[in-house]
């Protein structure tokens, strides 16, 4: 929850600014407002490069109280933490999209994340990257592939130090200009037993997912924010 702004200086360069309550929640959990600064460059009509820097503080400064003096809805009565964590979250994110041909689109992305519990705490590090390819056979349907790698040192995102990988294949059919259906197969794998199985005591090193979805949208906004 928040606000985002975009300003184009010309057809080749624009800037972004966001101010939000946090990365993974809509309600504020502390008095710090997260911010994002970035730019979008288009050196050629077929190339778009976006770079973002995100500064946040994701640690709450209050916790649910159990000694409320009047009946209230659960989760609405809080008490301040005695020594709340005040370390910051830094995200560096960059991605490039290239329309190699009118039908083929290629993209690459890289991320580096660092977060501390307190200002002087040892940091957690996460870095990763992704590659994407999509081929539009006709205006109606396309296929796409995606590969990703995430080095989660300290378990910031997955609660375990590991190297996560995934590959995805997607079929998309455009029913209309504002309505699409998707069929997708995805395989995740890692270097430690991590994924839940029928036996909770024996996690697996890989996981397969088959999914179907529909997307409907409206509005005239086109291009990158």
Q: β-pairing, 206-216 with 179-189?
A: antiparallel
Q: pLDDT tens digit string along 137-185?
A: 999 999 999 999 999 988 888 999 999 999 999 999 999 988 999 999 9
Q: Which DSSP letter does residue 158 get?
A: T
Q: How far apart are alpha carbons 2 and 13 in whole angstroms?
A: 24
Residue 119 pairs in a beta bridge with none
Q: What pLDDT is stored for residue 73 in this prediction?
A: 64
Q: How far apart are alpha carbons 45 and 34 in whole angstroms?
A: 32
CA-nearest of 87, 8, 99, 13 to 55 is 87
CA-nearest of 54, 37, 127 to 89 is 54
Q: pLDDT tens digit string along 68-95?
A: 766 656 666 778 888 888 999 999 999 9
Q: Which residues contact 176 (CB under 8 A, 6 or more apart)?
A: none
Q: How far apart are alpha carbons 28 and 57 in whole angstroms?
A: 10
pLDDT of 133 > 80? The answer is yes
Q: pLDDT tens digit string along 7-62?
A: 999 999 999 999 999 887 778 888 889 999 999 999 999 999 999 999 999 888 88
Structure tokens at 4: 């985002």
Structure tokens at 67: 């000694």
Strands of the chain, DSSP E? 2-10, 13-20, 34-44, 47-56, 62-64, 78-80, 89-99, 104-115, 124-136, 141-153, 162-176, 179-189, 206-216
Mean pLDDT of 113-117: 93
Q: How far apart are alpha carbons 222 and 225 in whole angstroms?
A: 9
Mean pLDDT of 126-135: 97
Q: pLDDT tens digit string along 59-69?
A: 888 887 777 76
Q: What pLDDT is stored for residue 98 in this prediction?
A: 97
pLDDT bin (cut points 50, 70, 90) of residue 6 is: very high
Q: How far apart are alpha carbons 119 and 145 in whole angstroms?
A: 40
Structure tokens at 73: 């809805």
Higher model confidence: residue 114 or residue 75? 114
Q: How far is CA 189 from CA 88, 127, 185, 205, in A?
A: 30, 17, 14, 6
Q: What pLDDT is stored for residue 211 in this prediction?
A: 97
Q: How far apart are alpha carbons 215 and 225 in whole angstroms?
A: 19
The pTM assigned to this predicted structure is: 0.81
Mean pLDDT of 121-145: 95
Domain residue ranges of the chain, discontinuous segments joined by +: 1-62+77-91, 123-225
């Amino acid at each position: 929850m928040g606000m985002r702004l975009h300003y184009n200086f010309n057809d080749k360069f624009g800037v972004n600014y966001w101010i939000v309550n946090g990365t993974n929640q809509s309600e504020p959990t502390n008095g710090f407002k997260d911010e994002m600064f970035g730019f979008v460059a288009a050196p050629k009509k077929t190339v778009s490069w976006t770079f973002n820097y995100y500064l946040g503080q994701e640690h709450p400064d209050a916790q649910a109280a159990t000694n409320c003096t009047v009946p209230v809805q659960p989760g609405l009565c809080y008490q301040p933490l005695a020594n709340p964590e005040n370390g910051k979250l830094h995200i560096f994110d960059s991605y490039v999209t290239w329309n190699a041909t009118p039908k083929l689109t290629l993209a690459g992305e890289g991320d580096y994340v660092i977060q501390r519990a307190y200002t002087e705490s040892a940091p957690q590090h996460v870095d990763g990257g992704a590659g994407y390819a999509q081929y539009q056979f006709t205006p109606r349907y396309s296929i796409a592939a995606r590969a990703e790698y995430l080095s989660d040192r300290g378990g910031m995102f997955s609660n375990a130090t590991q190297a996560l990988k995934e590959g995805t294949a997607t079929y998309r059919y455009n029913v209309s200009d504002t309505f699409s259906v998707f069929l997708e197969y995805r395989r995740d794998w890692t270097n430690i037993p991590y994924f839940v199985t029928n036996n909770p005591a024996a996690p697996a090193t890989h996981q397969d997912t088959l999914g179907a979805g529909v997307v409907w949208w409206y509005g005239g906004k086109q291009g990158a924010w």
